[in-house]
Structure 1
Amino acid sequence: MLSVIIPTLNAEDELPRAMFPLVGAVVRGRVKEVIVSDGGSTDGTLDVVEAAGAHLVAGERGRGPQLASGAREAKGDWLLFLHADTVLETGWDEEVSKFLEQVEAGRFRSSEIAAAFRFTLDDFSGWARFLETMVALRCAILRLPYGDQGLLINRRLYEKLGGYRDMPLMEDVDLVRRIGRRRLVMLRSRAVTSPDRYIRDGFAARMLRNFTCLTLYYLRVPPRLIARIYQ
């Protein structure tokens, strides 16, 4: 049983694209439920959720608390956390199904394991390809995927680790670090993410800002202070 959890805040434009690849997986029985955890949207996000037949969870604003709230409502043995502006490529559910079969067959040290998808930007520029290469290196060397790559995690492991914490930023890095590189598998399927932030701020400036935020986090600067830089 796989539960997909999507945090939203005024995501009426992005959410339909994110949910479309999930439809086939629901029909094929690979996804048990889709939960949208909303932080107080004032646009048409809730109408999209209702039209899609997804389960709505309304709560306080903040990606960390929203992800945690959605997880508490989930019934699946496996949880897939997905950003509203991230679209999984066709065939993602087949790879996930094979991965779960391998876990059940004991191909890994433990069933308490997690996985993330391959980062791709929905942009044709050379900057986008450069960023994808840098992210691939980060994941290969550090096993440190971000939330826009999705996170598939065994429920027992998620609960044992304490789940997502109430943080204004870096909630994804915080959980991945607690998972540990030995319990994290990188999948081949792509998670195609919106390039809007990079186009708006400029690729070089946004990449530098992200790197600065990560460095400050490792230097134990409080996330509430890092959030001021990230905006």
Structure 2
Amino acid sequence: MSVHWSEPLANAPRLSIIVPVLNEASTIQECLTALLPLWRCGVEIVIVDGGSEDDTVALALPLADRVLASERDRARQMNHGARESRGEHLVFLHADTRLPNRADLAIEGALKDTGGWGRFDVDIERGFALAGLVGWSMNRRSRMTGIATGDQAMFMTREAFEIVGGFPDQPLMEDIAMSRHLHRLSAPTCLAQRVTTSARRWQQNGPLRTIAKMWWLRLRYGFGASPGTLAGDYTDVR
């Protein structure tokens, strides 16, 4: 999907945080409370709801600059949030992922040097025995391949986002596809500072089963399976 932006507005924020959500009433207040220090520093917070049937929107309204409605699809939600945001730099954050302290300064420093894009290392909450190993392997794989996942809080300049045309309009693996497009511009900046993401995905279906399923989906995607086909075999508990 091609997306276009107007020129940056005067006095626009340096950074916009875009959070795609769907039925996140149980997590959205914790998510936005954690972002309050950045909000008070002038960071723009944009929530993009994909049609929640719970109280997500009502709970988010007092704690964000904007709460937008969008078609239900993470890539479309993130593109819509980027189009409606005002920041020079963009970060895409899952509702169950927490940024490190003063993440805005880390992002600004990274993008000042490269002008491109990057991501954080990730820690998974210790909700299961293999959490540390899974997090380590995600970070290691990302550094080796230059591919970032949504759990790692991908960030980029608005210019880079516009050049590649936003997230590809696909229902799964949009983060992998976006990484590949951005990699044509530059290698990612891999920040050692860590975001913390929820273990609920692994807890819901069991860590070993979840790991095996994700690797199987990635393998099929690498060999050309369509994201639409893969999405039918994937259930995200978030």
TM-score greater than 0.5 by the shorter chain = yes
Residue aligning to 2:153: 150
Cα deviation for residue 96 of structure 1 reads 2.3
Q: CA RMSD in A?
A: 1.5
Count matched residues. 221
CA distance in 2, matches of 1:158, 1:220: 24
CA distance in 1, matches of 2:134, 2:191: 18
TM-score norm. by structure 1 comes to: 0.90
Residue aligning to 1:42: 53
Q: Secondary structure at the match of 1:7?
A: strand
Residue aligning to 1:224: 228
CA contact (8 A) 1:18 1:88 kept: no
CA distance in 2, matches of 1:137, 1:174: 19
Q: 2:101 aligns with which of 90, 93, 107?
A: 90
Unmatched tracts of structure 2, length 5 or more:
1-13
CA distance in 2, matches of 1:175, 1:220: 16
Residue aligning to 1:58: 69
CA contact (8 A) 2:46 2:64 kept: no
CA contact (8 A) 1:21 1:89 kept: no
Q: Give 1 or 2: higher helix fraction.
A: 1
CA contact (8 A) 1:21 1:90 kept: no
Residue aligning to 2:34: 21
CA contact (8 A) 2:47 2:64 kept: no
Letter paired with 1:51: P
User: Does 1:175 pair with 2:188?
Assistant: no
CA contact (8 A) 2:17 2:91 kept: yes
CA contact (8 A) 1:64 1:166 kept: yes
User: Does 1:212 pair with 2:196?
Assistant: no
Cα deviation for residue 94 of structure 1 reads 3.3
> Structure 1 segments of 4 or more deviating over 6 A?
none
Residue aligning to 2:10: none
Percent of residue pairs bearing the same amino acid type = 29
Cα deviation for residue 185 of structure 1 reads 0.5
Q: How does 1:78-157 map to 2 (within 5 A)?
A: 78-100=89-111, 103=112, 107-108=113-114, 111=115, 113-123=116-126, 125-157=128-160
Q: How does 1:181-192 map to 2 (within 5 A)?
A: 182-192=186-196
Letter paired with 1:205: R
Unmatched tracts of structure 1, length 5 or more:
none
